[in-house]
Each structure stands twice: as C-alpha cells, then as structure tokens.
Amino acid sequence: MADHVDHSYLVKPISVFGLIGYRFIAGLGMLVGKLLWRLKITGRERVPTVGAFVLAPVHRSYVDFLLMAVVIPRRMRFMGKSTLWNTPHWFQRFIEMLGAFPVDRDGADRDALRLTEGLVEAGQPVVMFPEGRRREGPVVEDLYNGPAWIACRQRVPVVPVAIGGSQDAMPVGSKMVHFAKIRVVIGEPIYPDVPLEGRVPRSAITKLTEELRAELQDLYDEVR
C-alpha cells in the first residue's frame, strides 16, 4: 500500500451522505448502461440479501467497477489500485465515499487483506477481482487466492460474476467509453468447505480458487 498509510478508518459504517452519493452514482451508471451499453443482467436474485460475501467478477475493462455498483442491489466495497490514492485529497475522499479502499497490486498487500477481513467481519460485502488486474482474451486463468482466502477465513460465500462486452465499452488504453452491448451474469454463491471454527487448511483455499475459476470460465463462455 502506498506509503503504508493507515486506512483502517474505512471499516467504519458508511455515512448517510456516502450512501446517497453511492446510490446516485449507481443510478447514473444504470442510466448509462441502458442507453449506451444495452445492459442486460441475469441472476440478481442469486446475490445474498443479508450478511457479507465476496463478489468475484472477471475483469476486462475499467467500467467493470461501475457495473458492479449498478448490477448488485446492495452497497459494495471495492479494492482499488493504490495509485488512485496519489491523487488530490478530495478525489481520495470521493472514491472512499463510494466504497473504494486501496490495494498494492505489485505484491501481497497484507494491509489490504486485513482491511478486507475487517469489512467482511463487519458484515459488508466486498468486490475482489480474482484476476488482479484487467486481462484480455477468452480464458480465465491464473487467479489470485485473495478472494478464496477471505471467504474461507470469514466463512462467507464467493459470488462469481461474468461480464461480457465491457472490453468494447472501454478497451484497454482507451480514455473514453463507447457504445457496446454488455451482458452481466451472476452465478450461484460458492460456499467454502471449511470447519466452522479454527484453522483454515491451505488446501481449502486452493480448492475454492479452482472452483471459482471453473465457474467463472463457464459463465464467461456463456456471456461472450
């Protein structure tokens, strides 16, 4: 995490102002999605309505963050690349208000994982892109263990999400959004196979990551 800044305060419950801001951005995103991207959503009823969970989408475009705020009925928390916190103070506070918190993508960011654990323990659902950063191509592979690690340690489900067409809405290298057709499919929650208490075996994390990869690949094949 950039300069080892203490972001533990982000675990606190969202303010009314922050919730209003989040709902406004999500509503604006839905409008853009319908008009610009002909957005179609399948599987919203599969999203847990209470308690924490880890939302694990494929990642092909910057607009994937906005799409997750739009398609998920509940207010989400997001891991964002730590360089976003090298911006003016007002922008940092703005993205934090919308639910973002920083992660250093160049290594194992234990601070970010501890913060994520705190959020999940407090009952807040989080978005973690298991591919780590934007990828290209039809294959879902080389997933990080972070989402499965959080899910296993906190005994919460992982919800896989496939996004088709977002790479056309904002391709890698583009600074503008384009007309596109986007389809989002939310899969069934995957519950970790771990004891209710005590130590989490490494094998359980590896198994959950592989289950997630296989489900994401099936869903991504469907939306493409």
Q: What is the pLDDT of residue 3?
A: 46
What are 85-102's pLDDT values in tens digits? 888 888 887 777 778 888
Range of weakest confidence among 23-27, 148-152, 178-182: 23-27
What is the gyration radius of the CA atoms in the chain, in angstroms? 17
Confidence of residue 1 (pLDDT cuts 50, 70, 90): very low
Buried b (16+ CB within 10 A) or exposed e, 83-100: eebeeeeeebeebbbbbb
How far is it, in rounded angstroms, from Cα 116 to Cα 133?
17
Confidence of residue 111 (pLDDT cuts 50, 70, 90): confident
Grouping H, G, I as helix, E, B as strand and the rest as coil, residue 33 is helix
- Averaged over 121-137, what is the pLDDT? 92
How far is it, in rounded angstroms, from Cα 34 to Cα 163?
15
Grouping H, G, I as helix, E, B as strand and the rest as coil, residue 125 is coil
Q: Residue 138: phi, psi to the nearest 5?
A: -85, -5
What are 4-60's pLDDT values in tens digits? 445 555 556 667 777 888 889 899 999 999 999 999 999 999 999 999 999 999 999
The rounded mean pLDDT for the chain is 88
What are 184-222's pLDDT values in tens digits? 999 999 999 999 888 999 999 999 999 999 999 999 999
- Which carries the bigger pLDDT value, residue 218 or residue 75? 218
Q: How many domains does the chain fold into?
A: 1
Confidence of residue 70 (pLDDT cuts 50, 70, 90): very high
Residue that has been written with the tokens 């250093």 in this structure = 104
The CA-atom distances, in angstroms, between 63 and each of 24, 202, 208 are: 16, 33, 27
Q: What is the pLDDT of residue 99?
A: 80
pTM over 0.85, yes/no: yes
CATH number at residue 194: 3.40.1130.10
pLDDT at 113 over 80: yes
- Averaged over 161-184, what is the pLDDT? 92
Q: What is the pLDDT of residue 144?
A: 93
Q: What is the pLDDT of residue 18?
A: 76
Give residue 128's domain range: 2-223
Q: What is the pLDDT of residue 8?
A: 52
Cα maximum dimension of the chain: 50
